[in-house]
Amino acid sequence: MSDKIFRSLLLVSALILLLIFAGMFFSLSKGAVPAFREFGFFGFIFSDKWISGTGQSTEQYGALAFIAGTLMTSILALLICLPFSLPVAFFVGEYFRGKKVAGILGGIVDLLAGIPSIVYGLWGFYALRPLIQSLGLSEQGFGVLTSSLVLAIMIIPYAASLSAEFIRMVPQELKEGAYSLGATRAEVIRNIIFPTSFSGIFSAYVLALGRAIGETMAVTMLIGNTSRIPRGLMDTGNTMASIIANQFGEADGLKLSSLIAIGLLLFLITAIVNFLGRLMIKRHSV
């Protein structure tokens, strides 16, 4: 009898997880309804106006500026992180595989993932921003580029450690076959390892992109918080996460609903990105 209870307890715990996820989707959707009703679903997504007027009549909210800001910062971060995380992946997964140096570098890069987002933000604000100012890239030092640089550092560990795993999984016989034909290591990497592990590495970067999209504190402290589409890499803006962090506390009514609607969109976008990434990993490992 009590075995039955135990088994159902296990089942219930799995069901709770399912319910949490479904409940999150439901609550966000419910909270977003007033905003969507006022501006229309697509009207809300494709409007770049974010005006919190004093009277009801002047209020106008849309998500486009923040979607643009999110895409710009996260894609730029991905591009910046690429030339660093890929070498780390090959360093750990191929060149010094199993050696002590690889363990040390892997450990150091993993520690980057442990640093709290707010500390990254502080470092970006007090160390990176003055550097950008002194280089004359932008007057205040805030903006898309500054945020992307810090984001890039933050996602390196995610991209690198997963890629290294896929690089390690390339069958030894394939590599040895190429070596026996006289290929150099660079040629083995280019013609054997990279093509074989490509879909895995690609999925690692998709998951890293998901991280960058949802990152909040560091971006909030560095992007400059202006509610419009950034006009360039040096311009200020806001991401979906940073507008929520900035304005949620003082919001009510239609504005609160609009922020929840942005939360819903962010939830859906990261869920889709993660879904695709996980799907590719599954395909790759089969």
Partner 1 sequence: MSSLKYRLFKNKLLTLSVVIFSALTAVPLVLIIGKVFLKGWRQINWDFFTKTTPTTLDALLAINNNQPIPGGIANGIVGTLMMVLVASVIAIPLGVMCGIYLSENRKTKFSTVVRFLTDLLQGTPSIILGIIAYLWVVIPLKGYSALAGSVALAIMMLPLIVRSTEETMNLLPASLKEAGLALGSPYRSVVLKVLLPSAFGGVFTGILLAVSRVIGETAPLMLTALGATTIQWDITKPASAVSLLIWEFYNDPNLQSMIWSASLFLLLLVLSLNILAKQLAKKWRI
Q: Interaction with partner 1 in 186-215: which residues (CB under 8 A)? A: 186-187, 189, 207, 210-211, 213-215
CB of 254 to partner 1, least distance (A): 16
Check binding of 140 to partner 1 (CB under 8 A).
no
Q: Which is nearer to partner 1, 54 or 70 (CB)?
A: 70
Torsion region of 132: left, alpha or beta (phi above 0 gives left; psi -120 to 50 gives alpha): alpha
d(CA 44, CA 197): 40
Closest by Cα among 126, 147, 129 to 138: 129
Q: Identify the residue among 161, 196, 197, 216 touching partner 1 (CB under 8 A).
A: 216
Q: Which is nearer to partner 1, 97 or 232 (CB)?
A: 97
CB of 62 to partner 1, least distance (A): 19
Q: Is 193 exposed, middle or buried (0-12, 13-18, 19+ CB in 10 A)?
A: buried
Q: Which residues of 156-171 are buried (b: 16+ CB within 10 A; e: fewer)?
A: bbbbbbbbbbbbeebe
SS3 state at 136: coil
Closest by Cα among 78, 112, 72, 92 to 208: 78
Q: Identify the residue among 72, 77, 266, 280 touching partner 1 (CB under 8 A).
A: 266
Check binding of 164 to partner 1 (CB under 8 A).
no
Q: Which is nearer to partner 1, 51 or 272 (CB)?
A: 272
Query: In the window 99-138, what residues touch partner 1 (CB under 8 A)?
Result: 105, 107-112, 114-123, 125-127
List the helix and strand counts (H, then E) for the chain.
Answer: 13, 0
Q: Identify the residue among 6, 41, 46, 198 touching partner 1 (CB under 8 A).
A: 6
Q: Identify the residue among 132, 241, 254, 280 touching partner 1 (CB under 8 A).
A: 241
Q: Which is nearer to partner 1, 52 or 274 (CB)?
A: 274
Q: Which is nearer to partner 1, 68 or 213 (CB)?
A: 213
Of 19-27, 71-79, 166-174, 226-234, the segment contacting partner 1 by CB under 8 A is 19-27
Query: In the window 40-79, what residues touch partner 1 (CB under 8 A)?
Result: none
Amino acid at 242: S
Q: Which is nearer to partner 1, 87 or 171 (CB)?
A: 87
How does DSSP classify residue 222? H
Check binding of 176 to partner 1 (CB under 8 A).
no
Q: Identify the residue among 162, 244, 254, 280 touching partner 1 (CB under 8 A).
A: 244
d(CA 209, CA 277): 10
d(CA 34, CA 258): 8
Q: Identify the residue among 73, 85, 225, 227 touching partner 1 (CB under 8 A).
A: 85
Of 48-56, 72-80, 81-89, 196-204, the segment contacting partner 1 by CB under 8 A is 81-89
CB of 57 to partner 1, least distance (A): 27
Contacts of 136 (CB under 8 A, 6+ apart): none
d(CA 264, CA 246): 17
